[in-house]
Chains A and B, each alone.
Chain A
Amino acid sequence: MVTPVIEEQTSRTTEEELAKQARRKELISRWFWRIMGYVVFLGLWEFASGRVLEENLLPGPIRVFQTLGDLWADGTVLPAFGATLTRLFIGFGLSFLVGTIVGVISQNRWWDGFFKDATIISLTAPGLIWVLITAVIFGNRIYGPLIAIILTTFGLVTINVYEGVRSLPKDLIDMGKAFHVPNAGIQRNVVLPHLAPFLFTGLRFGFSIAWKVTVLTEIFASSSGIGFQMRIAQTLFKQDEVLTWILLFFFFALFLEKVVLQAFERRYFRWRQAVEAA
């Protein structure tokens, strides 16, 4: 009588073991191809430097990494990043606030009419236009990048918040009311979790655009930050430095995507992953 139970348990363990093995295999294979992508790209780049293009025009990755080490050692990197990130966080923070407020009040059709075209312009006009206009008006002052970031990105936040608020789950809110859950509890447990994916999408895409616009404003009108350093390097024909800043730019974007945003996603959207896995 005992044997079938043991057999069943054994087969379940084997099944779990097999699934684990398959997942591990999938992970190894994914990382292999990812690393291969880097190896091939860096190899081609190193090969092209000095062979296809002159080394002065296209310094290879080895030299670029050496320059990165030099710039880090002489203390140029962190202040430049600090200046850029300060502009970025203030600018995008304000943009997120403006975008959220406009998204919420646009549920009213008069305000919707009032902001509709402005939102569309924000979504469609290239960031470069605002960068040029604000550079002319404000020169090196901080307002230039901030206003350029707000104008370029608030529309993206607005349409996401607008859609989120419009699709609020009335049935779940009514359920809360039927059980006499206080309004604060409904806001925290129903409204905010419903809005979270919309806010997250606005944050993710808005931030990536804000980042580019910040660097652009620094290239045109600034005396600090990554963009400014790139402009100086380009003026002095230091291609290795230009590429170093691009590399740093890439590292930072990767850090944001893979560490910050994914951690955020794991924390707040655990339920989706659980449901998908089920």
Chain B
Amino acid sequence: MADIKVEHLHKEFGLGDDKVVALEDVNLEISGHVFVSIVGPSGCGKSTLLNIMSQIETPTSGIVSITQDNREALRGYVFQAARLLPWRTVMDNLLFVQDDPGDAATQERCQRYLDMVQLGDKTEKFPGELSGGMQQRVGIARAFSVEPDVLFMDEPFSHLDAITARTLRAELHEMWKATGKTIVFVTHDVGEAVELSNRIVVFSKGGTLEDDITIDLPFPRDPADEKVAVNKAAVLKKFEELDLVAT
């Protein structure tokens, strides 16, 4: 099981008068087969935290260690936009991120994950030939196909229509259960966070970690279910208390 430790993490952008603090002394521990959502208003540093954890960005100070069985954990990433190479086919997009793209077992693995997101028959299509929802599915398959120990997801369904997003959420949840990964999921949608996660970490503007909430409900969770609605209302109330609701 993967172990994520974030200690006294601090991140600033710009210099002098233009300096912006994105994350302020963040401490966080995530461990095991969990689905953790990071929620907060726009500009609260949640994407920055994800980028630092996935090594796209470096922190100004502090430590991030992500390990699995005392070794560096493998990381996968699903972005807000699918970020597929438009000039490569769906299969080649998955092979692009593999260590050994020529290996038959690797190709079989990629095909398996494309089958899981129901795109097994679209391997030779180019991303531009697919709908937005299908492109995001390819992005999800790509992230799973590297068989990461930890999967980072940055508002992956925010560009999609409500029905497609709901279908993909259900598929993602099935994949999470089937593969036993640790998932860190950034969203500004509290309902989505309650529907998907075991834990919700709340950030406020200025990049401070404000609260860490455990959601102890069985899966799958129906948004119309009363207990889900009660939990959602409780998290929203927390938002109000922290003055995080957009006005």
Contact = CB atoms under 8 A, between A and B. Distances in A.
A275 interface: yes
Interface in A152-190: 171-172, 174-179, 181, 185, 189-190
Interface string B18-36: 0000000000000000000
Nearest to B142: A179
B162 to A, nearest CB: 25
Interface in A55-87: none
B88 A274 contact: no
A178 B146 contact: no
A271 B87 contact: yes
Given A179-B76, A189-B96, A278-B128, A171 B83 contact: yes
B64 to A, nearest CB: 14
Contacts of B129: 274-275, 278
Most chain B C-beta atoms within 10 Å of own C-beta, residue among A178, A185, A189, A275: A178
A172 B83 contact: yes
Contacts of A190: 85
Contacts of B56: 174, 177-178
Most chain B C-beta atoms within 10 Å of own C-beta, residue among A185, A190, A275: A275
B54 A178 contact: yes
B85 A189 contact: yes
Given A171-B81, A179-B76, A278-B128, A271 B86 contact: yes
Contacts of A271: 86-88, 126, 128
A126 interface: no
A25 B217 CA distance: 63
Interface string B139-151: 0001000100000
A193 interface: yes
Interface in B107-152: 125-126, 128-129, 142, 146
Contacts of A181: 96-97
Band of interface residues on A: 10 to 19
Contacts of B181: none
Contact of B85 (A174, A178, A193): A193
A193 B76 contact: no
Nearest to A269: B87
Interface in A245-278: 271, 274-275, 278
Contacts of B83: 171-172, 174-175
Contacts of A172: 83, 85
Given A271-B126, A274-B126, A274-B129, A178 B77 contact: yes
Contacts of B126: 271, 274-275
Contacts of B176: none
A180 to B, nearest CB: 8
Contacts of B77: 175, 178-179
A226 to B, nearest CB: 38
B55 A176 contact: no
Given A177-B55, A178-B54, 19 more contacts: A171-B79, A171-B81, A175-B77, A175-B83, A176-B96, A178-B55, A179-B76, A179-B96, A179-B97, A179-B146, A181-B96, A185-B96, A189-B96, A193-B85, A193-B87, A271-B86, A271-B126, A274-B125, A278-B128
Closest A-B pairs by Cβ, 4 of them:
A275-B128, A179-B97, A278-B129, A178-B77
5 contacts: A171-B79, A185-B96, A271-B88, A274-B125, A275-B126
